Structure 1
Amino acid sequence: MLNDRHPVLVAALWMTGALFSFMAMAVSGRELSQDLTTFQILFFRSLIGVLLIAALLARSHHGFAQLRTRRTGGHVLRNIAHFGGQYGWFYGLAFIPLAEVIAIEFTTPIWTALLACTLLGERLTLPRLSALVLGIAGLLLILRPGMGSLHPASLAVLVGAVGYALSYIQTKSLAATETPLCILFYMTMIQLPFGLIPSMVEWQTPPLHTLPWIILVSVTAMSAHYCMARAFKLADATVVVPMDFMRLPLIAVVGFLFYDEIIDLPVALGAGLMLAGNLINIRAEQRKAPSRATATQTTESPQ
Protein backbone atom coordinates (compact mmCIF):
# COMPACT_ATOMS: atom_id res chain seq x y z
CA MET A 1 0.00 0.00 0.00
CA LEU A 2 1.23 3.52 -0.88
CA ASN A 3 0.15 4.84 2.53
CA ASP A 4 2.67 2.55 4.26
CA ARG A 5 5.65 4.01 2.38
CA HIS A 6 7.74 7.10 3.05
CA PRO A 7 5.98 10.30 1.87
CA VAL A 8 8.96 11.31 -0.32
CA LEU A 9 8.88 7.94 -2.08
CA VAL A 10 5.14 8.26 -2.68
CA ALA A 11 5.68 11.82 -3.95
CA ALA A 12 8.30 10.50 -6.36
CA LEU A 13 5.79 7.93 -7.65
CA TRP A 14 3.19 10.66 -8.20
CA MET A 15 5.79 12.77 -10.03
CA THR A 16 6.60 9.79 -12.23
CA GLY A 17 2.94 9.81 -13.24
CA ALA A 18 3.15 13.54 -13.91
CA LEU A 19 6.27 13.14 -16.07
CA PHE A 20 4.72 10.40 -18.17
CA SER A 21 1.57 12.51 -18.49
CA PHE A 22 3.57 15.50 -19.76
CA MET A 23 5.46 13.35 -22.26
CA ALA A 24 2.27 11.70 -23.52
CA MET A 25 0.61 15.11 -23.83
CA ALA A 26 3.54 16.46 -25.87
CA VAL A 27 3.56 13.46 -28.22
CA SER A 28 -0.21 13.51 -28.67
CA GLY A 29 -0.07 17.25 -29.35
CA ARG A 30 2.62 16.69 -32.00
CA GLU A 31 0.60 13.89 -33.63
CA LEU A 32 -2.65 15.90 -33.65
CA SER A 33 -0.91 18.91 -35.22
CA GLN A 34 -0.68 16.93 -38.46
CA ASP A 35 -4.49 16.82 -38.84
CA LEU A 36 -5.94 19.53 -36.58
CA THR A 37 -5.32 23.22 -35.98
CA THR A 38 -4.00 24.34 -32.61
CA PHE A 39 -7.41 25.86 -31.81
CA GLN A 40 -9.10 22.51 -32.48
CA ILE A 41 -6.67 20.68 -30.21
CA LEU A 42 -7.44 23.13 -27.42
CA PHE A 43 -11.19 22.87 -28.06
CA PHE A 44 -11.27 19.08 -27.77
CA ARG A 45 -8.99 19.20 -24.76
CA SER A 46 -11.44 21.54 -22.99
CA LEU A 47 -14.49 19.56 -24.10
CA ILE A 48 -13.24 16.30 -22.62
CA GLY A 49 -11.83 18.20 -19.66
CA VAL A 50 -15.29 19.52 -18.76
CA LEU A 51 -16.59 15.96 -18.60
CA LEU A 52 -13.67 14.77 -16.49
CA ILE A 53 -13.92 17.66 -14.00
CA ALA A 54 -17.71 17.25 -13.78
CA ALA A 55 -17.21 13.59 -12.84
CA LEU A 56 -14.69 14.58 -10.13
CA LEU A 57 -17.06 17.25 -8.80
CA ALA A 58 -19.87 14.71 -8.56
CA ARG A 59 -17.67 12.52 -6.33
CA SER A 60 -16.15 15.31 -4.24
CA HIS A 61 -17.29 16.19 -0.71
CA HIS A 62 -18.75 19.60 -1.54
CA GLY A 63 -19.96 18.57 -4.99
CA PHE A 64 -21.13 21.22 -7.45
CA ALA A 65 -21.80 23.68 -4.61
CA GLN A 66 -18.13 24.69 -4.74
CA LEU A 67 -18.70 26.21 -8.19
CA ARG A 68 -20.56 29.18 -6.69
CA THR A 69 -18.30 32.17 -7.22
CA ARG A 70 -18.32 35.93 -7.03
CA ARG A 71 -15.08 36.16 -8.97
CA THR A 72 -16.18 35.50 -12.54
CA GLY A 73 -13.99 38.32 -13.81
CA GLY A 74 -10.96 36.82 -12.13
CA HIS A 75 -11.61 33.44 -13.74
CA VAL A 76 -11.99 35.06 -17.16
CA LEU A 77 -8.73 37.02 -16.82
CA ARG A 78 -6.88 33.93 -15.65
CA ASN A 79 -8.09 31.84 -18.54
CA ILE A 80 -7.36 34.42 -21.21
CA ALA A 81 -3.74 34.29 -20.07
CA HIS A 82 -3.74 30.50 -19.61
CA PHE A 83 -5.27 29.92 -23.04
CA GLY A 84 -2.51 32.05 -24.57
CA GLY A 85 0.04 29.92 -22.74
CA GLN A 86 -1.50 26.69 -24.00
CA TYR A 87 -1.76 27.99 -27.56
CA GLY A 88 1.92 28.92 -27.66
CA TRP A 89 2.92 25.54 -26.18
CA PHE A 90 0.87 23.40 -28.58
CA TYR A 91 1.77 25.59 -31.56
CA GLY A 92 5.44 25.13 -30.76
CA LEU A 93 5.07 21.34 -30.60
CA ALA A 94 4.16 21.30 -34.29
CA PHE A 95 7.26 23.08 -35.56
CA ILE A 96 10.28 22.92 -33.24
CA PRO A 97 11.99 20.05 -31.36
CA LEU A 98 10.15 18.82 -28.28
CA ALA A 99 13.15 19.50 -26.04
CA GLU A 100 13.31 23.12 -27.21
CA VAL A 101 9.62 23.60 -26.36
CA ILE A 102 10.15 22.32 -22.82
CA ALA A 103 13.37 24.31 -22.36
CA ILE A 104 11.70 27.59 -23.37
CA GLU A 105 8.70 26.72 -21.17
CA PHE A 106 11.08 26.61 -18.19
CA THR A 107 11.34 30.42 -18.47
CA THR A 108 7.89 30.64 -16.86
CA PRO A 109 9.35 31.13 -13.33
CA ILE A 110 11.34 34.11 -14.67
CA TRP A 111 8.25 35.93 -15.90
CA THR A 112 6.28 34.89 -12.81
CA ALA A 113 8.88 36.50 -10.55
CA LEU A 114 8.94 39.70 -12.63
CA LEU A 115 5.14 39.93 -12.71
CA ALA A 116 4.87 39.19 -8.98
CA CYS A 117 7.20 42.10 -8.28
CA THR A 118 5.29 44.39 -10.65
CA LEU A 119 1.68 43.40 -9.92
CA LEU A 120 1.79 42.00 -6.38
CA GLY A 121 4.57 44.11 -4.94
CA GLU A 122 6.66 41.07 -3.97
CA ARG A 123 10.34 41.73 -3.19
CA LEU A 124 13.01 40.86 -5.74
CA THR A 125 15.42 39.08 -3.36
CA LEU A 126 18.97 38.07 -4.26
CA PRO A 127 18.04 34.41 -4.95
CA ARG A 128 15.15 35.53 -7.16
CA LEU A 129 17.43 37.96 -8.97
CA SER A 130 19.97 35.17 -9.46
CA ALA A 131 17.26 32.96 -10.95
CA LEU A 132 16.25 35.79 -13.30
CA VAL A 133 19.80 36.43 -14.51
CA LEU A 134 20.58 32.74 -15.04
CA GLY A 135 17.18 32.18 -16.67
CA ILE A 136 17.62 35.02 -19.14
CA ALA A 137 21.16 33.84 -19.93
CA GLY A 138 19.81 30.36 -20.57
CA LEU A 139 17.04 31.74 -22.78
CA LEU A 140 19.55 33.68 -24.88
CA LEU A 141 21.59 30.50 -25.33
CA ILE A 142 18.54 28.60 -26.54
CA LEU A 143 17.14 31.27 -28.87
CA ARG A 144 20.55 32.60 -30.01
CA PRO A 145 19.32 35.93 -31.36
CA GLY A 146 21.48 37.25 -34.19
CA MET A 147 22.75 33.76 -35.06
CA GLY A 148 20.32 33.19 -37.92
CA SER A 149 16.56 33.16 -38.44
CA LEU A 150 14.49 32.56 -35.32
CA HIS A 151 11.55 30.23 -35.86
CA PRO A 152 8.21 31.95 -35.07
CA ALA A 153 7.20 28.87 -33.07
CA SER A 154 10.03 29.56 -30.60
CA LEU A 155 8.64 33.05 -30.03
CA ALA A 156 5.13 31.59 -29.68
CA VAL A 157 6.32 29.27 -26.89
CA LEU A 158 8.11 32.18 -25.23
CA VAL A 159 4.97 34.35 -25.33
CA GLY A 160 3.06 31.32 -24.05
CA ALA A 161 5.43 31.11 -21.06
CA VAL A 162 4.55 34.72 -20.23
CA GLY A 163 0.87 33.75 -20.53
CA TYR A 164 1.40 30.90 -18.07
CA ALA A 165 3.13 33.30 -15.68
CA LEU A 166 0.17 35.70 -15.82
CA SER A 167 -2.22 32.84 -15.16
CA TYR A 168 -0.17 31.73 -12.13
CA ILE A 169 -0.36 35.23 -10.64
CA GLN A 170 -4.14 35.23 -11.10
CA THR A 171 -4.40 31.68 -9.75
CA LYS A 172 -2.62 32.75 -6.58
CA SER A 173 -5.35 35.35 -6.06
CA LEU A 174 -8.22 32.98 -6.88
CA ALA A 175 -6.89 30.21 -4.64
CA ALA A 176 -7.68 32.32 -1.58
CA THR A 177 -11.44 31.80 -2.13
CA GLU A 178 -11.87 29.05 -4.76
CA THR A 179 -11.23 25.31 -4.57
CA PRO A 180 -8.83 23.65 -7.05
CA LEU A 181 -11.74 21.82 -8.71
CA CYS A 182 -13.61 25.11 -9.06
CA ILE A 183 -10.60 26.71 -10.76
CA LEU A 184 -10.16 23.73 -13.10
CA PHE A 185 -13.87 23.61 -13.94
CA TYR A 186 -13.97 27.26 -14.97
CA MET A 187 -10.72 26.74 -16.85
CA THR A 188 -12.30 24.13 -19.09
CA MET A 189 -15.66 25.91 -19.41
CA ILE A 190 -14.23 29.34 -20.26
CA GLN A 191 -11.59 28.01 -22.62
CA LEU A 192 -14.10 25.82 -24.46
CA PRO A 193 -15.50 28.67 -26.62
CA PHE A 194 -12.00 30.19 -26.90
CA GLY A 195 -11.01 27.08 -28.85
CA LEU A 196 -14.33 26.42 -30.58
CA ILE A 197 -15.06 29.81 -32.17
CA PRO A 198 -11.73 30.16 -34.05
CA SER A 199 -11.94 26.47 -35.01
CA MET A 200 -15.26 27.07 -36.79
CA VAL A 201 -13.59 29.45 -39.25
CA GLU A 202 -11.67 26.59 -40.90
CA TRP A 203 -13.28 23.53 -39.32
CA GLN A 204 -11.76 20.19 -40.22
CA THR A 205 -13.60 17.08 -39.09
CA PRO A 206 -11.03 15.03 -37.16
CA PRO A 207 -10.14 11.76 -38.90
CA LEU A 208 -11.08 8.65 -36.96
CA HIS A 209 -7.44 7.76 -36.32
CA THR A 210 -7.00 10.98 -34.30
CA LEU A 211 -9.58 9.96 -31.67
CA PRO A 212 -7.10 8.10 -29.41
CA TRP A 213 -4.74 11.10 -29.54
CA ILE A 214 -7.59 13.52 -28.70
CA ILE A 215 -8.55 11.42 -25.68
CA LEU A 216 -4.90 11.06 -24.64
CA VAL A 217 -4.10 14.79 -24.82
CA SER A 218 -7.19 15.58 -22.75
CA VAL A 219 -6.75 12.90 -20.10
CA THR A 220 -3.02 13.50 -19.64
CA ALA A 221 -3.57 17.25 -19.27
CA MET A 222 -5.74 16.55 -16.22
CA SER A 223 -3.63 13.69 -14.88
CA ALA A 224 -0.50 15.86 -14.99
CA HIS A 225 -2.25 18.50 -12.85
CA TYR A 226 -3.54 15.86 -10.44
CA CYS A 227 -0.27 13.94 -10.04
CA MET A 228 1.75 17.09 -9.38
CA ALA A 229 -0.76 18.34 -6.83
CA ARG A 230 -0.61 15.01 -4.98
CA ALA A 231 3.20 15.07 -5.04
CA PHE A 232 3.32 18.61 -3.59
CA LYS A 233 0.98 17.58 -0.78
CA LEU A 234 3.44 14.89 0.30
CA ALA A 235 6.83 16.55 -0.16
CA ASP A 236 8.46 19.98 -0.16
CA ALA A 237 9.03 21.98 -3.30
CA THR A 238 12.78 21.35 -3.04
CA VAL A 239 12.05 17.64 -3.50
CA VAL A 240 9.32 17.79 -6.13
CA VAL A 241 10.40 20.59 -8.45
CA PRO A 242 13.80 19.08 -9.38
CA MET A 243 11.89 15.96 -10.46
CA ASP A 244 9.85 18.15 -12.82
CA PHE A 245 13.07 19.23 -14.54
CA MET A 246 13.50 15.60 -15.59
CA ARG A 247 10.97 16.46 -18.29
CA LEU A 248 13.74 17.95 -20.44
CA PRO A 249 16.06 14.93 -20.73
CA LEU A 250 13.09 12.57 -20.94
CA ILE A 251 11.38 14.52 -23.71
CA ALA A 252 14.73 14.75 -25.51
CA VAL A 253 14.89 10.95 -25.50
CA VAL A 254 11.29 10.77 -26.79
CA GLY A 255 12.09 13.27 -29.55
CA PHE A 256 15.16 11.25 -30.55
CA LEU A 257 13.37 7.89 -30.58
CA PHE A 258 10.13 8.94 -32.29
CA TYR A 259 11.06 11.99 -34.39
CA ASP A 260 14.84 11.71 -34.97
CA GLU A 261 15.39 14.97 -33.09
CA ILE A 262 18.82 15.72 -31.66
CA ILE A 263 19.10 18.17 -28.77
CA ASP A 264 21.97 20.56 -29.50
CA LEU A 265 24.54 21.80 -26.99
CA PRO A 266 23.23 25.40 -26.63
CA VAL A 267 19.75 24.12 -25.71
CA ALA A 268 21.23 21.74 -23.14
CA LEU A 269 23.46 24.45 -21.64
CA GLY A 270 20.63 27.00 -21.61
CA ALA A 271 18.30 24.58 -19.88
CA GLY A 272 21.05 23.83 -17.36
CA LEU A 273 21.38 27.53 -16.49
CA MET A 274 17.60 27.80 -16.01
CA LEU A 275 17.64 24.70 -13.81
CA ALA A 276 20.43 26.11 -11.66
CA GLY A 277 18.65 29.45 -11.23
CA ASN A 278 15.36 27.86 -10.30
CA LEU A 279 16.98 25.51 -7.80
CA ILE A 280 18.78 28.44 -6.11
CA ASN A 281 15.48 30.27 -5.75
CA ILE A 282 13.55 27.20 -4.58
CA ARG A 283 16.10 26.38 -1.86
CA ALA A 284 16.09 29.98 -0.64
CA GLU A 285 12.28 30.09 -0.51
CA GLN A 286 12.24 26.73 1.28
CA ARG A 287 14.59 27.96 4.02
CA LYS A 288 12.54 31.13 4.44
CA ALA A 289 9.05 29.62 4.64
CA PRO A 290 8.80 25.86 4.02
CA SER A 291 5.05 25.53 4.43
CA ARG A 292 4.23 28.59 2.35
CA ALA A 293 6.54 27.55 -0.48
CA THR A 294 4.96 24.14 -0.68
CA ALA A 295 1.39 25.47 -0.49
CA THR A 296 2.02 27.96 -3.27
CA GLN A 297 3.27 25.22 -5.57
CA THR A 298 0.23 22.96 -5.11
CA THR A 299 -2.18 25.24 -6.90
CA GLU A 300 -1.26 24.45 -10.46
CA SER A 301 1.26 22.78 -12.74
CA PRO A 302 2.84 24.44 -16.00
CA GLN A 303 0.14 23.01 -18.27
Structure 2
Amino acid sequence: MAIESNARKGMILMTATCLVFATQDGVSRFLAESVSVYMIVMLRFWFFGLLAIMWALRNKGGFSFATRTRFPKLQILRGVLLISEICLIMISFVTLGLIATHAVFSCYPLIVTALSVPLLGEQVGWRRWLAILVGFAGVLVIINPGTDVFSPLVLLPFGSAILFATYTLLTRYVAREDGASVSFFWTGIVGAVVSTPMGLLHWQAVEMQTGFMLAGLCVFAILGNWLLIKTYEVADASSVQPFSYMNLPFVSMIGLFVFGETLALNVMIGAAIVVGSGLFTLWRERVRKPA
Protein backbone atom coordinates (compact mmCIF):
# COMPACT_ATOMS: atom_id res chain seq x y z
CA MET A 1 0.00 0.00 0.00
CA ALA A 2 2.92 2.34 0.75
CA ILE A 3 4.34 1.79 -2.73
CA GLU A 4 1.04 2.79 -4.34
CA SER A 5 0.91 5.91 -2.16
CA ASN A 6 4.47 6.85 -3.21
CA ALA A 7 3.69 6.25 -6.87
CA ARG A 8 0.59 8.45 -6.63
CA LYS A 9 2.58 11.20 -4.92
CA GLY A 10 5.28 10.89 -7.57
CA MET A 11 2.72 11.27 -10.35
CA ILE A 12 1.33 14.43 -8.72
CA LEU A 13 4.83 15.85 -8.29
CA MET A 14 5.78 15.06 -11.89
CA THR A 15 2.61 16.78 -13.12
CA ALA A 16 3.46 19.82 -10.97
CA THR A 17 7.02 19.72 -12.37
CA CYS A 18 5.69 19.81 -15.93
CA LEU A 19 3.41 22.74 -15.10
CA VAL A 20 6.32 24.72 -13.63
CA PHE A 21 8.59 23.95 -16.59
CA ALA A 22 5.81 24.85 -19.05
CA THR A 23 5.36 28.19 -17.27
CA GLN A 24 9.13 28.68 -17.37
CA ASP A 25 9.10 28.12 -21.13
CA GLY A 26 6.27 30.61 -21.54
CA VAL A 27 8.24 33.25 -19.63
CA SER A 28 11.35 32.35 -21.66
CA ARG A 29 9.51 32.90 -24.93
CA PHE A 30 8.17 36.25 -23.77
CA LEU A 31 11.58 37.46 -22.60
CA ALA A 32 13.45 36.15 -25.67
CA GLU A 33 11.38 38.42 -27.91
CA SER A 34 13.11 41.50 -26.45
CA VAL A 35 16.12 40.27 -24.43
CA SER A 36 19.20 38.46 -25.75
CA VAL A 37 18.90 34.68 -25.38
CA TYR A 38 22.55 34.50 -24.33
CA MET A 39 21.99 37.01 -21.55
CA ILE A 40 18.94 35.10 -20.31
CA VAL A 41 20.83 31.79 -20.29
CA MET A 42 23.77 33.40 -18.47
CA LEU A 43 21.52 34.77 -15.71
CA ARG A 44 19.80 31.39 -15.38
CA PHE A 45 23.13 29.64 -14.93
CA TRP A 46 24.35 32.26 -12.47
CA PHE A 47 21.41 31.29 -10.28
CA PHE A 48 22.03 27.63 -11.04
CA GLY A 49 25.71 27.97 -10.12
CA LEU A 50 24.84 29.78 -6.88
CA LEU A 51 22.38 27.03 -6.01
CA ALA A 52 25.04 24.39 -6.79
CA ILE A 53 27.51 26.10 -4.45
CA MET A 54 24.93 26.32 -1.65
CA TRP A 55 24.03 22.66 -2.22
CA ALA A 56 27.69 21.64 -2.01
CA LEU A 57 28.21 23.58 1.21
CA ARG A 58 25.14 21.96 2.74
CA ASN A 59 26.12 18.39 1.87
CA LYS A 60 28.68 16.33 3.71
CA GLY A 61 32.17 16.78 2.29
CA GLY A 62 31.55 20.28 0.89
CA PHE A 63 33.46 21.44 -2.18
CA SER A 64 36.07 18.71 -1.98
CA PHE A 65 33.36 16.08 -2.42
CA ALA A 66 31.32 18.02 -5.01
CA THR A 67 34.33 18.55 -7.29
CA ARG A 68 35.59 14.97 -7.02
CA THR A 69 34.60 13.45 -10.37
CA ARG A 70 35.98 10.50 -12.30
CA PHE A 71 34.91 12.12 -15.58
CA PRO A 72 35.93 15.82 -15.59
CA LYS A 73 35.90 16.10 -19.40
CA LEU A 74 32.48 14.48 -19.68
CA GLN A 75 31.12 16.69 -16.89
CA ILE A 76 32.32 19.76 -18.77
CA LEU A 77 30.78 18.41 -21.98
CA ARG A 78 27.47 17.90 -20.16
CA GLY A 79 27.43 21.55 -19.15
CA VAL A 80 28.22 22.72 -22.68
CA LEU A 81 25.52 20.48 -24.16
CA LEU A 82 22.90 21.76 -21.72
CA ILE A 83 23.75 25.40 -22.45
CA SER A 84 23.59 24.76 -26.20
CA GLU A 85 20.26 22.95 -25.87
CA ILE A 86 18.68 25.77 -23.85
CA CYS A 87 19.89 28.46 -26.29
CA LEU A 88 18.61 26.48 -29.28
CA ILE A 89 15.18 25.75 -27.83
CA MET A 90 14.68 29.36 -26.70
CA ILE A 91 15.44 30.58 -30.23
CA SER A 92 12.93 28.00 -31.44
CA PHE A 93 10.29 29.34 -29.02
CA VAL A 94 10.46 32.73 -30.74
CA THR A 95 10.77 31.54 -34.35
CA LEU A 96 8.37 28.57 -34.28
CA GLY A 97 6.31 28.99 -31.13
CA LEU A 98 5.90 26.89 -28.02
CA ILE A 99 3.52 24.31 -29.48
CA ALA A 100 5.51 23.32 -32.58
CA THR A 101 8.78 23.39 -30.65
CA HIS A 102 7.61 21.05 -27.91
CA ALA A 103 5.77 18.78 -30.34
CA VAL A 104 9.11 18.05 -32.04
CA PHE A 105 11.18 18.15 -28.84
CA SER A 106 8.98 15.45 -27.28
CA CYS A 107 10.86 12.89 -29.42
CA TYR A 108 13.97 13.18 -27.21
CA PRO A 109 13.18 10.00 -25.18
CA LEU A 110 13.20 8.08 -28.47
CA ILE A 111 16.61 9.56 -29.31
CA VAL A 112 17.83 8.57 -25.84
CA THR A 113 16.76 4.98 -26.48
CA ALA A 114 18.36 4.93 -29.95
CA LEU A 115 21.67 6.44 -28.81
CA SER A 116 21.87 4.25 -25.70
CA VAL A 117 23.03 1.40 -27.96
CA PRO A 118 26.26 2.98 -29.32
CA LEU A 119 26.98 5.24 -26.31
CA LEU A 120 26.09 3.01 -23.35
CA GLY A 121 26.11 -0.45 -24.92
CA GLU A 122 22.48 -1.10 -23.94
CA GLN A 123 20.31 -3.56 -25.83
CA VAL A 124 17.19 -2.40 -27.65
CA GLY A 125 14.76 -4.99 -29.03
CA TRP A 126 13.00 -4.86 -32.36
CA ARG A 127 9.76 -3.57 -30.80
CA ARG A 128 11.47 -0.48 -29.43
CA TRP A 129 13.38 0.05 -32.68
CA LEU A 130 10.05 -0.04 -34.48
CA ALA A 131 8.60 2.45 -31.98
CA ILE A 132 11.59 4.74 -32.58
CA LEU A 133 11.03 4.64 -36.35
CA VAL A 134 7.31 5.33 -35.90
CA GLY A 135 8.14 8.20 -33.55
CA PHE A 136 10.49 9.78 -36.07
CA ALA A 137 7.76 9.38 -38.69
CA GLY A 138 5.61 11.44 -36.32
CA VAL A 139 8.31 14.13 -36.29
CA LEU A 140 8.19 14.22 -40.10
CA VAL A 141 4.42 14.68 -39.91
CA ILE A 142 4.96 17.66 -37.59
CA ILE A 143 7.64 19.40 -39.66
CA ASN A 144 5.82 18.57 -42.92
CA PRO A 145 8.90 18.70 -45.19
CA GLY A 146 7.05 18.04 -48.44
CA THR A 147 5.06 21.29 -48.45
CA ASP A 148 5.89 24.62 -50.03
CA VAL A 149 5.79 26.32 -46.61
CA PHE A 150 8.45 24.06 -45.08
CA SER A 151 11.08 26.03 -43.18
CA PRO A 152 14.49 24.75 -42.06
CA LEU A 153 13.76 26.47 -38.74
CA VAL A 154 11.71 23.43 -37.74
CA LEU A 155 15.03 21.59 -37.40
CA LEU A 156 15.90 23.80 -34.39
CA PRO A 157 13.80 21.84 -31.86
CA PHE A 158 14.99 18.55 -33.37
CA GLY A 159 18.60 19.63 -32.88
CA SER A 160 17.70 20.68 -29.35
CA ALA A 161 16.21 17.24 -28.71
CA ILE A 162 19.43 15.56 -29.93
CA LEU A 163 21.53 17.77 -27.63
CA PHE A 164 19.31 17.06 -24.62
CA ALA A 165 19.23 13.32 -25.35
CA THR A 166 23.05 13.26 -25.49
CA TYR A 167 23.18 15.23 -22.24
CA THR A 168 20.81 12.71 -20.65
CA LEU A 169 22.91 9.74 -21.79
CA LEU A 170 26.13 11.33 -20.52
CA THR A 171 24.37 11.93 -17.21
CA ARG A 172 23.56 8.22 -17.04
CA TYR A 173 27.14 7.34 -17.93
CA VAL A 174 28.86 9.54 -15.32
CA ALA A 175 26.32 8.37 -12.71
CA ARG A 176 28.16 5.01 -12.71
CA GLU A 177 30.94 6.66 -10.67
CA ASP A 178 29.77 10.18 -9.77
CA GLY A 179 26.93 10.90 -7.36
CA ALA A 180 23.97 13.10 -8.26
CA SER A 181 25.30 15.96 -6.11
CA VAL A 182 28.62 15.87 -8.03
CA SER A 183 26.90 16.08 -11.42
CA PHE A 184 24.58 18.81 -10.13
CA PHE A 185 27.56 20.89 -8.96
CA TRP A 186 29.53 20.47 -12.19
CA THR A 187 26.50 21.30 -14.35
CA GLY A 188 25.83 24.53 -12.47
CA ILE A 189 29.44 25.73 -12.31
CA VAL A 190 30.37 24.76 -15.88
CA GLY A 191 27.16 26.33 -17.15
CA ALA A 192 27.84 29.58 -15.31
CA VAL A 193 31.45 29.77 -16.50
CA VAL A 194 30.77 28.88 -20.15
CA SER A 195 27.66 31.06 -20.56
CA THR A 196 29.17 34.19 -18.99
CA PRO A 197 31.37 35.42 -21.90
CA MET A 198 28.54 35.25 -24.46
CA GLY A 199 26.06 36.66 -21.97
CA LEU A 200 28.24 39.65 -21.11
CA LEU A 201 28.95 40.23 -24.79
CA HIS A 202 25.19 40.52 -25.40
CA TRP A 203 24.42 42.39 -22.16
CA GLN A 204 21.64 44.95 -22.44
CA ALA A 205 19.80 47.24 -20.07
CA VAL A 206 16.28 46.10 -19.19
CA GLU A 207 13.28 47.74 -17.61
CA MET A 208 12.34 46.97 -14.01
CA GLN A 209 9.38 44.79 -15.06
CA THR A 210 11.64 42.74 -17.34
CA GLY A 211 14.13 42.41 -14.49
CA PHE A 212 11.43 40.96 -12.26
CA MET A 213 10.47 38.52 -14.99
CA LEU A 214 14.11 37.44 -15.36
CA ALA A 215 14.26 36.82 -11.61
CA GLY A 216 10.99 34.90 -11.83
CA LEU A 217 12.39 32.78 -14.64
CA CYS A 218 15.32 31.77 -12.43
CA VAL A 219 12.94 30.95 -9.58
CA PHE A 220 10.83 28.76 -11.89
CA ALA A 221 13.98 26.95 -13.05
CA ILE A 222 15.08 26.25 -9.47
CA LEU A 223 11.56 25.24 -8.38
CA GLY A 224 11.16 22.93 -11.37
CA ASN A 225 14.45 21.16 -10.70
CA TRP A 226 13.63 20.86 -7.00
CA LEU A 227 10.25 19.30 -7.80
CA LEU A 228 11.93 16.90 -10.23
CA ILE A 229 14.40 15.81 -7.54
CA LYS A 230 11.55 15.30 -5.05
CA THR A 231 9.63 13.30 -7.67
CA TYR A 232 12.41 10.74 -8.03
CA GLU A 233 12.88 10.65 -4.25
CA VAL A 234 9.34 9.41 -3.60
CA ALA A 235 8.66 7.19 -6.63
CA ASP A 236 10.37 4.89 -9.08
CA ALA A 237 11.35 6.57 -12.36
CA SER A 238 9.47 4.03 -14.50
CA SER A 239 6.17 4.84 -12.77
CA VAL A 240 6.37 8.61 -13.16
CA GLN A 241 8.27 9.06 -16.44
CA PRO A 242 5.14 8.75 -18.66
CA PHE A 243 3.69 11.76 -16.83
CA SER A 244 6.56 13.90 -18.12
CA TYR A 245 4.57 14.13 -21.37
CA MET A 246 2.10 16.33 -19.48
CA ASN A 247 4.50 19.13 -20.36
CA LEU A 248 3.17 19.14 -23.95
CA PRO A 249 -0.50 19.89 -23.15
CA PHE A 250 0.51 22.50 -20.55
CA VAL A 251 2.79 24.25 -23.04
CA SER A 252 0.11 24.01 -25.73
CA MET A 253 -2.43 25.77 -23.50
CA ILE A 254 0.07 28.57 -22.80
CA GLY A 255 0.86 28.87 -26.49
CA LEU A 256 -2.83 28.97 -27.46
CA PHE A 257 -4.23 31.27 -24.79
CA VAL A 258 -1.27 33.51 -23.96
CA PHE A 259 0.57 33.87 -27.27
CA GLY A 260 -2.30 33.22 -29.67
CA GLU A 261 -0.56 30.33 -31.43
CA THR A 262 -2.49 27.92 -33.64
CA LEU A 263 -2.65 24.15 -33.28
CA ALA A 264 -2.28 22.77 -36.80
CA LEU A 265 -3.75 19.36 -37.63
CA ASN A 266 -0.39 17.89 -38.70
CA VAL A 267 1.15 19.01 -35.39
CA MET A 268 -1.64 17.34 -33.42
CA ILE A 269 -1.34 14.07 -35.36
CA GLY A 270 2.46 14.06 -35.31
CA ALA A 271 2.63 14.86 -31.59
CA ALA A 272 0.20 12.03 -30.84
CA ILE A 273 2.41 9.61 -32.81
CA VAL A 274 5.60 10.80 -31.07
CA VAL A 275 4.10 10.67 -27.58
CA GLY A 276 2.51 7.27 -28.23
CA SER A 277 5.83 5.87 -29.45
CA GLY A 278 7.62 7.33 -26.44
CA LEU A 279 5.13 5.82 -24.00
CA PHE A 280 5.50 2.45 -25.71
CA THR A 281 9.32 2.52 -25.36
CA LEU A 282 8.96 3.43 -21.68
CA TRP A 283 6.54 0.53 -21.20
CA ARG A 284 8.90 -1.90 -22.95
CA GLU A 285 11.81 -0.76 -20.78
CA ARG A 286 9.69 -1.35 -17.69
CA VAL A 287 8.61 -4.80 -18.92
CA ARG A 288 12.21 -5.83 -19.66
CA LYS A 289 13.66 -4.70 -16.33
CA PRO A 290 12.80 -7.85 -14.35
CA ALA A 291 14.37 -9.93 -17.13
What is the TM-score with the length of structure 1 in the denominator? 0.87
Q: Distance in 2 between matches of 1:52 and 1:226?
A: 11
Structure-2 residue corresponding to 1:140 = 140
Measure, in 2, the Cα distance between the counterparts of 1:212 and 1:273.
Answer: 39
Render the CA deviation track for 1:237-292: whole Å, top value 9, x for unaligned: 443122211111221111111111121111111111111111111111112216x9
Distance 1:123 1:109 in 2: 15
Structure 1 counterpart SS, 2:35: coil
Q: Partner of 1:20 in structure 2?
A: 19
Conserved 8 A contact 2:23-2:251: no
Equivalent residue number for residue 180 of structure 2 = 180
Where does the alignment leave 5 or more consecutive residues of structure 2 unmatched?
none
The Cα RMSD (Å) is 2.2
Note the C-alpha offset of 1:165: 1.2
Comparing 134-143 and 32-41, the one that deviates more? 32-41
| Aligned counterpart, 1:224 | 224
Give the superposition deviation at 1:92.
Answer: 1.0
The residue aligned with 2:53 is 54
* Matching residue of 1:30: 29
Number of matched pairs: 289
Taking the aligned partners of 1:180 and 1:120, their CA distance within structure 2 comes to 18
Alpha-carbon distance, 1:50 to partner: 1.3
Q: Structure 1 pair 71/230, CA: closer, same or farther in 2 (3 Å)?
A: same
| In structure 1, distance between residues paired with 2:213 and 2:4 | 34
**Number of the residue aligned with 1:39:** 38
Which structure would you say has the larger RCO, counting Cα contacts within 8 Å and 6 or more residues apart? 2
Q: Is the 8 A contact 1:49 1:219 kept in 2?
A: no
| Residue 101 of structure 1: aligned partner | 101
Mean Cα deviation higher: 176-185 or 61-70: 61-70
SS class of match (1:94):
helix
Deviation at 1:4, TM superposition (A): 11
Structure 1: runs of 5 or more not aligned:
293-303
Q: Is the 8 A contact 2:15 2:244 kept in 1?
A: no
For residue 199 of structure 1, what is the aligned residue in structure 2? 199
Tell me if structure 2 keeps the 8 A contact 1:66–1:179. no
> Do residues 260 (structure 1) and 249 (structure 2) align?
no
CA deviation profile, 1:107-129 (whole Å, cap 9, x unmatched): 11222222222222322312321
Structure 1, residues 185-227: CA drift from partner, whole Å, max 9, x if none? 2112112233221233333123322222222222222332332
- Is this contact kept in 2: 1:15–1:244, CA < 8 A? yes
Amino acid at match of 1:13: I
Identical aligned pairs, as a percentage? 22
1:196 and 1:241 map into 2 onto residues whose CA distance is: 33
Determine the structure 2 residue equivalent to 1:301.
none
Superposed CA offset, 1:66-86 (max 9, x none): 312242111112222222211
